[in-house]
Amino acid sequence: MLYPKPETLKPPRTDVLTVSPWLAPIVWEGSFNTEILNNQFRQKGWRVGLTTFAIKKYIRFLKPFIETAEKFFMVGLPVNYYVFTDQASNVTDLNIIVGTGRQIIILEVPSYERWQDVTMRRMQMISDVCQQRFASEVDYLVCVDVDMRFQDHVGVEILSDVFGTLHPAFFVKGRDKFTYERRPESQAYIPEDEGDFYYAGGYFGGKVEEVYKLTNHCHHAMLTDKANNIEAIWHDESYLNSYFLYNKKPTKILSPEYLWNEMDGTAFYLRKIRFIALQKNMAEVRT
């Protein structure tokens, strides 16, 4: 196979950090070759599941989410879309068409009154399904928010034992600006001088077994806090950040190309914006 080879010891990107202190690659455009990775992936016969939640009013985001995923997410590879929803028949009525080898699987789940509980309980619901069905149906899981749209290539370069994504609002900020949970009483506590990166709650994944460990850990941390009448400042995102930190976990880190928000403007280091948050009226959509 012919492809552009790396020039001897000359890094393809010098403007951004491409590896963490525990040697997890940070994925940026220009640092990988899709064709090589796709070939490796196909040889292994791996299968990918994309999980998302469309509960209450967030069902309005589902159709454009899947339709744009059809254009940009794991193109040419089999994908199971796992849609967790409290309105299974409304999801069916959306009549979303997906390509050959790809299917939508609807998982009916309860809804919670507070939006904070809806977002946090995703950890419990994902971990519950890991052993029931994910383990036998897919090799890797990608777990993302639904109020998003794909607009450029997202492929197998993101996959690894366990991956996390740099939050677009914090990548260029100093460690002191990270909004980790700072109360020692919380299971999500991270002291002032600790923490490598600030990861987003809305994009993580990995091998099914690792996603099980992650979601199960975060859910139980949340339950312990709940029993002690405390809720981490940014909910599931705070528990995810402490899990990653104390387990030196992500084996791969996705750059903000994989999770962008127009509110964060543009940035010199962004060569692609692959997956972008939709602007929403928070007060309206969460009630």
Nearer to ligand UD2, 55 or 221 (CB): 55
- Does the annotation mark 185 as catalytic? no
* Pair 249, 164: CB distance under 8 Å: yes
Range 220-249 burial, b when 16+ CB lie within 10 A, else e: ebbeebeeeebbbebbbbbbbbbbbbeeeb
Binder to ligand UD2 among 41, 58, 163, 204 (CB under 6 A)? 58
Instruction: Tell me how far apart the alpha carbons of residues 178 and 170 are, in angstroms, rounded to a whole number.
Output: 7
Residue 201 interacting entry, from Mn ion, ligand UD2, none, C-beta within 5 to 8 Å by type:
ligand UD2
* 181 is a site residue for ligand UD2 (CB under 6 A): no
Interface region with ligand UD2, contact rule CB under 6 A, candidates 20-28, 50-58, 129-137, 207-215 = 50-58
Residue 190 has φ and ψ, to the nearest 5°, of -135, 120
Cβ of residue 251: shortest distance to Mn ion, in angstroms? 24
Query: Cα dist. 287→10, 118, 235 in Å?
Result: 52, 12, 18
**SS percent in the chain: helix, strand, coil, step 5:** 35, 20, 45
By beta carbon distance, the residue nearest ligand UD2 is 201
* 218 is a site residue for ligand UD2 (CB under 6 A): no
Annotated active-site residue in 113, 237, 262, 284 = 237
Binding string, residues 137-156; x marks residues near ligand UD2 by CB under 6 A: --------xxx---------
Nearer to ligand UD2, 271 or 286 (CB): 286
Instruction: Tell me how far apart the alpha carbons of residues 142 and 103 are, in angstroms, rounded to a whole number.
Output: 15
Query: Cα dist. 87→80, 106, 207, 278 in Å?
Result: 19, 9, 28, 22
Tell me which residues touch Mn ion (CB under 5 A): 145, 147
Q: By CB under 6 A, name the binding residues for ligand UD2.
A: 52-56, 58, 115, 118-119, 145-147, 200-202, 234-237, 259, 277, 286
Q: Which residues are catalytic?
A: 237
